[in-house]
Structure 1
Amino acid sequence: MLRVAVLGAKGRMGAEVCRVVEAADDLELVAALDASDDLTAAIGADVAVDFTVPDAVMGNLEWCAAHGVHVVVGTTGFTAEKLARVAALFEGTSAHAIVASNYSIGSLLMMKFAEIAAPYFESVEIIELHHPNKVDAPSGTAVTTAGKISAARAAAGLGPVPDATTDDPGGARGATVDGIHIHAVRQRGLFANQEVRFGNEGEQLVITENGFDRASYMPGVLAAVRAVPNRPGLTVGIEELLGL
């Protein structure tokens, strides 16, 4: 039986994590904490699941590393620099960490398919569409997808994506991450959606993943909770846990 603490328990994702942990036969919810709560209530937990906010997550990670609590992080906003800091925090400690930009099986497959397709197309752009309460843009999933596509293109010897734009005072071309354009939509009625649009002369391939409910993330979160005690240091992403 793994003892689990949930950080950010009053948020929508945190509340869903609490629900599935309580329903699991091999997990026990021992603490459900939010922003103003004292983390000492999580002492004795085997694993903490963090779905808080970018401003709070690093402090929570420091606490977990210092108190020997493994941690699974779904909070977004991690740069390469922040991931390096997390790796340093957990290196050589008894606590381990998994940080992933997305725990949805469909999203992970979408990123994998995009990575496979990337060397075969001259053009590619990403459109990510989310609910208006999301605080970060572009999404962590879109940034991760762009990185995977960019690496696959570079390995195949492809040059920059063609784009003759020289005049864009309003930023209509979106953000550029690792040479890949990302367009972020925030609209009421959406939950979590992403399109990766590839193009060659005379053809187009569109890979789309549509999320409709937070329950779609829970199989990946639970897989990470069960795996993290056996993965020393920092693990980035859960693809390997799922055989991807």
Structure 2
Amino acid sequence: MIKVVVAGALGKMGQESCKAVLNAEGMELVGAMDCKEFHGSIGSFLGKPEVNIQISNNIEQVLLELKPDVLIDFTRPGVVQENIELALKHGVRPVIGTTGMAASEIEGFIKSASEKKIGGLIVPNFAIGALLMIKFATEAAKYFPNVEIIELHHDQKMDAPSGTALKTAESIASVRGNMSQGMPSEFEKIDGARGGDFEGMKIHSIRLPGFVAHQEVIFGGTGQTLSIRHDSIARESFMPGLILAVRKVMSLDHMVYGLENILFE
């Protein structure tokens, strides 16, 4: 039985994570943490009064007392870093869905996990369809190197561009390199109109109510265009990948960045 605790349990992704673990065979939700003030059980919050797991705001105490196998984290930048450090300190395998960490921070955690021989996963997107989008886009970039990325998320998302967009751009750059696109003499009449730049490709972030998580990768070639798009229309779309990650991390002795690196191996 894999013992799991969830950090950020009162958030939308945290709630879905708790429900997914509760419903998963061979897993046990043993703890729920959140920095919000809530006196009661996660079961009462989820409408499952039979789940009598009290919500805590002290992660180190939870890790020490419950000794879980896995920590699922859907918190926020500035919080997730300490949670990862504490998980590794106490021999708990972190499965991280929080985005917004710097590349240098991710590299540091990968090094630390390897030194401690503790498995871990940092996953920008748990949706299997999104991982396939990145895989297909990377293949397409070999033939269509001119590309731009548009990502669309709900207006409560803190970081931009999304972790998925950055992972897509990194993967594309691995096959096409840094390449100048478009008219060299172009200029912006409004700062930021052309989006952010990553290795020569533009990334555009949209934040509006009504969206969950969506991305389109648009390629341009001579007399043709190619679009690869993925849409998560509900947060449940991330749960099969999350449960897969929890199972997979039990057999790792190092930290992996991106679920595709174990899904497509």
Distance in 2, Cα, partners of 1:15 & 1:22 = 11
Query: Structure 1 regions of 5+ residues with no counterpart?
Result: none
- Superposed, 1:4-23 pairs within 5 Å as 4-23=4-23
Q: Indicate if the aligned counterparts of 1:122 and 1:162 stay in contact, CA closer than 8 A.
A: no
Amino acid in the other structure paired with 2:95: V
How far 1:82 sits from its partner (Å)? 0.9
**Distance in 1 of aligned mates of 2:203 and 2:248:** 32
Q: Do structure 1's residue 32 and structure 2's residue 52 form an aligned pair? A: no
Whether the aligned pair in 1 keeps the contact of 2:73 and 2:98 (CA below 8 Å) is yes
1:148 equivalent in structure 2: 171
Residue 119 of structure 1 and its aligned partner are, at CA, apart by 1.6
Deviations 1:4-51, CA, capped at 9 Å, x for gaps: 000110110011000010111200000010126011113310101011
Q: 1:181 aligns with which of 202, 208, 227?
A: 202
Say if 1:64 and 1:95, in contact at 8 Å, map to a contact too.
no
Post-superposition offset of 1:60: 0.4
Equivalent residue letter for 1:28: E
Matches of 1:19 and 1:52, distance apart in 2:
17
- Structure 2 distance, partners of 1:126, 1:152, is 16
User: Larger deviation: 84-93 or 30-39?
Assistant: 84-93
Q: Deviations over 1:142-181 (max 9, x none)?
A: 0111111112113xxx842233354214210000122210
In structure 2, what is the equivalent of residue 160 of structure 1? 180
1:98 is aligned to 2:98: no
Alignment partner for residue 136 of structure 2, among 107, 113, 119?
113
- Alignment partner of 1:237 is 2:258: yes
Letter in 1 for 2:136: F
What is the distance in 2 between the residues matched to 1:6 and 1:13? 10
Amino acid aligned to 2:82 = G
Distance 1:240-1:87 versus aligned 2 partners, 3 A rule: closer
Query: Greater CA deviation, 32-41 or 55-64?
Result: 32-41
Distance 2:32 2:93 in 1: 16
Q: Provide the C-alpha distance between the structure 1 equivalents of 2:200 and 2:75, rounded to a whole number of angstroms.
A: 29
Q: CA deviation at 1:94?
A: 5.0
Unaligned stretches of 5+ in structure 2? 37-56
Over residues 107-150 of structure 1, what are the superposed CA-to-partner deviations in whole Å (9 max), with x where a residue is unaligned? 00000000000021142100001111111111110011111111
**Aligned partners of 2:167 and 2:135: how far apart in 1?**
11
The separation in 2 between residues aligned to 1:212 and 1:42, in whole angstroms, is: 33
Q: Percent identity at matched positions?
A: 41
Q: State how far apart, in whole Å, the 2-side matches of 1:110 and 1:243 are.
A: 13
- The superposition leaves residues 83-118 of structure 1 with CA deviations (integer Å, 9 ceiling, x where unpaired) of 111023223325321111111001000000000000
Residue of structure 1 in register with 2:217 after alignment: 196
Residue of structure 1 in register with 2:62 after alignment: 41
**8 Å CA contact 2:118, 2:255 repeated in 1:** no
| In 2, Cα distance between equivalents of 1:167 and 1:107 | 32
> Once superposed, what is the RMSD of the aligned Cα atoms?
1.5
Aligned equivalent of 1:227, options 244, 248, 254: 248
Following the alignment from structure 1 to structure 2, what is the Cα–Cα distance between the partners of residues 9 and 163?
47
Contact 1:191 1:211 in 2 (8 A): yes
1:74 aligns with 2:94: no
Give deviations 1:189-229, integer Å, cap 9, x for gaps: 11111010001121000001111011111111111111112
More deviation, 96-105/165-174: 165-174
Between Structure 1 and Structure 2, how many residues are aligned? 241
